Chains A and B, each alone.
Chain A
Amino acid sequence: KKKAERKITIALLGLDNAGKTTLLNALKGEVEADTTPTFGFNTSTLQDGKYTIEVFDLGGGKSIRSVWSRYLAEVHGIVYVVDAADAQRFEESKKVLAEVLENQYMRDKPIAVFANKQDLPTASSPAEVVKGLGMAACRNTHNVVPCTAKSNAGEPVDPRLREGLRWLIGYVDREYSRLDPRVKTEAEEVRVEEALKKKEREERLKRQREERLRQQEEEAARAREVEKDNELHDGMAPSLAAAAAAGL
């Protein structure tokens, strides 16, 4: 039975330098593209069979990753990338992943963990990554996939990237009738809530502006009063002087 085309949204997360953007480029077939650190948001669309997959590529740096939480209501699943060759940062990565999973919108959503940079001699095995990230405690359905996102010019893209993505899509597909309505509802809730906050900020700003304008007008009015007084005084001065001169 042929299913209708399905739209799936996933977020690409992980620490800075894990290889998120490179991995996304590889999935898009752009192997030679150099990347610069992401400190924001970029969206890409992948096609896989009947699935249209929108990927949110978000920055992983310490100074930007707090914005991730704003996207989680909208996603069906997560691709979490780990630099498997940098075991020193496993602890940090574990903490960051745990924070993501604690988010209320992450309940029952699948996570594909890519143990990236397997081409490097210091790369940890998937089992070591599972241990390093404390995946045993993870209640979300997950799969740890070793891979090499970066490939040299002319070399084919690591097939494990596509396989890992297919696993994630497959899970989302099986749970779609339950997951998708929830994603739609929660995403709308967040959108409405944020729009409301924005409106409040705008109204506060408007009030501040009106107050400032009112103060400026008051000051201007006071200045005019003073000027008028001065004019009055200046106008009187000659007659006073004349009176004084007359010895009165």
Chain B
Amino acid sequence: MGLLSLIRGLKKKEGEARILVLGLDNAGKTTILRTLSDEDITTITPTQGFNIKSLSRDGFNLKIWDIGGQKSIRPYWRNYFDQTDALIYVIDSADRKRLDEAEFELNELLQEEKMNGVPLLIFANKQDLVGAAPPDEIATKLDLPAIRDRPWQIQACSATQGTGLKEGMEWLMKQVK
């Protein structure tokens, strides 16, 4: 049974919760989404080089895509930012070399007007790997303590082992009011 149905009861609001799942390529977003739901994920490609996976289930609407890469597709992001209830940002905790890049991209996202005040959940993924950076190190590297305009939570997890995902989603659902 997928995690989404397990945490369904936590959601108070009627209708859908719109959640964006973003992160650099190879962070583990698709694996997280697979673990959250048993369903196949539909893939839509609205524009060249901009691949979005979408999942709608149990009152949740999750959309995921890779950020970074081509600058030219950036303007298309904004089409998906409307009425976002929460943002999940996935980090490959073992890829320390790309933490600067992850910080940079997150920063760009948080500066988007439509993202104002949107709760932020960081999944510090791949904690099962040797050499994975701990949550506090990632929080510092991503400069999360500079954030004052929204609640944030960093959740250590391993999408392949299924650990930490439920805890992260429970926090997220409390923020979606």
Contacts and interface: CB of A to CB of B under 8 A. Distances in A.
B136 A41 contact: no
B22 interface: no
Interface residues of A, number: 25
B153 A38 contact: yes
Contacts of A38: 153
A39 B154 contact: yes
B103 interface: yes
Contacts, number: 67
Contacts of B162: none
A191 B144 CA distance: 13
A36 B100 contact: no
Given A63-B134, A63-B136, A64-B135, A40 B153 contact: yes
A63 B104 contact: no
A198 B153 CA distance: 20
B129 to A, nearest CB: 16
B85 to A, nearest CB: 16
A65 B145 CA distance: 11
Contacts of A152: none
Contacts of A198: 103, 107, 143, 146
A228 interface: no
A42 B151 contact: yes
A210 to B, nearest CB: 13
A236 B167 CA distance: 68
Contact of A201 (B103, B148, B151, B152): B103
Closest A-B pairs by Cβ, 9 of them: A70-B145, A40-B153, A42-B151, A66-B136, A40-B152, A205-B100, A63-B135, A67-B145, A36-B170
Interface of A: 36-43, 59, 63-67, 70-71, 191, 194-195, 198, 201-202, 204-205, 208
9 contacts: A38-B153, A39-B154, A40-B144, A41-B144, A41-B145, A64-B139, A191-B146, A198-B146, A201-B100
